[in-house]
């Protein structure tokens, strides 16, 4: 996990047993990408600190990186719940 730079980086291992607060306060997200997963059944869920889902990613059958496109401003921070990434890596690119 590296939440000190841009992009913010969270792996499935980071959230295997504990939720991770990735950002506090408002953030403008350019894109969320989900990659390095092992199967098309892999998923990731990014939420704000109030629990509202901001983005849900599902692995692709060709195992290519899945991208959100422009998300925009998110109020209330970001977190990944326990097991919020089944396997793989999430990168959050922000302004």
- Domains parsed from the chain with CATH numbers: 8-94 (2.60.120)
Q: Are 30 and 71 in contact (CB under 8 A)?
A: yes
Model pLDDT, residue 68: 97
> Tens digits of per-residue pLDDT, 34-66?
999 999 999 999 999 999 999 999 999 999 999
Query: Phi and psi at residue 15, in whole multiples of 5°?
Result: -115, 20
Predicted TM-score (pTM) above 0.85:
yes
Cα dihedral 34, 36, 42, 43, rounded to 10, equals -20
pLDDT reported for residue 75? 94
Residues in contact with 25: Cβ distance below 8 Å, sequence separation at least 6, in sequence order: 77
The predicted pLDDT at position 34 comes to 98
Tell me, what's the pLDDT at 12?
Answer: 97
Contact 20, 26 (CB under 8 A): no
Task: Please confirm whether the linkage preceding 7 is cis (ω < 30° from 0).
Answer: yes
What are 73-87's pLDDT values in tens digits? 999 999 999 999 999
């Amino acid at each position: 996990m590296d939440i000190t730079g841009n992009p913010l980086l969270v792996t499935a291992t980071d959230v295997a047993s504990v939720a991770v607060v990735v950002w506090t306060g408002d953030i403008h997200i350019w894109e969320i990408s989900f990659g390095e997963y092992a199967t098309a059944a892999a998923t990731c869920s990014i939420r704000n600190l109030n629990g509202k889902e901001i983005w849900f990613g599902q692995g692709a059958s060709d195992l290519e990186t899945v991208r959100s496109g422009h998300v925009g401003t998110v109020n209330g921070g970001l977190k990944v719940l326990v097991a919020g990434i089944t396997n793989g890596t999430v990168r959050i690119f922000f302004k």
